[in-house]
Amino acid sequence: MNRAENRQQFKRGFKNGIPIALGYLAVSFALGILAAESGMSATQAGVTSFLVLASAGQYAGFTLVGAGGTYLAMAGVIFVANMRYMLMSTSLSQRLYPEMPFFHRLFMAWGITDEIFGVSISSPGRVNPFFTYGAMFIAIPGWTVGTILGVIVGNVLPQDLVTALSIGLYGMFIAIIIPPAKKNTVVLVLVVISMLASWAFSRMPVLGNLSEGNRTIILTIIIAGIAAFLFPVHEISTASDESVPPQNGGAS
């Protein structure tokens, strides 16, 4: 990796991160409203969003704050809700340069969200950390500012509008997975199977009682494990990395 390539990758990541930031800005409004209802200030909610970067984890944490939960209970709930990020980080690590320093891996892992993981993993060839940094650079402030605005002015918005804004996150993630699914039949089939399995799990007697995060982890391990066994991805050659064409990314 050289400086010129890093700058180019950062710009590409930044471009891919713009629609993510816009989606975060809208979706985190609802999170800010919950933070305000839990008695948190705009500063407290903003710092939490900047450090945690997790919609489900923060939702659970803010709920416990409002209910007067203990620190231990909050740590346990957020850990379970965010376990899926461990799987995403492990998956993304297979696409990194083997010689990449630890501090790059650590910083990328901190910035992993569903959408940032989506645009990073869909980038062809080896993933340059500066591509992910570019997406993080614009997306994380969007999530943080949206939370702060939700605390300050979110309570004056009609409830129907707040509910409508929360749908934006799902639409944004669909926009990430559709492009690779159109190019690869295996990915398309796996996406459909994942959606059907998620629906089926939510209706089952025992599995339906699990948290949404736990169901996601179980499905990810099962479906991804079977797909990796049946359709293994061959090792990415370093030579192909030098000629990787620019791509627009799934979310842009």
Answer yes or no: is 169 within a domain: yes
Answer yes or no: is 248 within a domain: no
3-class SS of residue 126: coil
Answer yes or no: is 14 within a domain: yes
Answer yes or no: is 249 within a domain: no
pLDDT tens, position by position, 108-153: 999 999 889 989 988 888 999 999 999 999 999 999 999 999 888 8
CB atoms closer than 10 angstroms to residue 95: 15
Work out how many domains the chain is built from and give that number.
1
Answer yes or no: is 24 within a domain: yes
What range does the domain containing 159 cover?
Answer: 3-241
**CA dist 96 to 23, 109, 203, 227, Å?**
27, 12, 38, 20
Q: What is the DSSP letter of 233?
A: P
Answer yes or no: is 247 within a domain: no
- pTM as predicted: 0.67
3-class SS of residue 93: helix
pLDDT tens, position by position, 199-235: 898 888 877 777 666 677 788 788 878 887 888 766 5
CB atoms closer than 10 angstroms to residue 106: 9
Residue 104 has pLDDT above 90, yes or no: yes
Q: Which residues contact 112 (CB under 8 A, 6 or more apart)?
A: 53, 85, 88, 89, 92
Unique residue bearing structure tokens 């950390």: 129
pLDDT tens, position by position, 47-65: 999 998 887 788 878 888 8
Classify residue 129 as exposed, middle or buried by CB count within 10 Å of its CB (0-12, 13-18, 19+).
Answer: buried
Answer yes or no: is 46 within a domain: yes
At 166, the pLDDT band (50, 70, 90 cuts) reads: low
Answer yes or no: is 252 within a domain: no
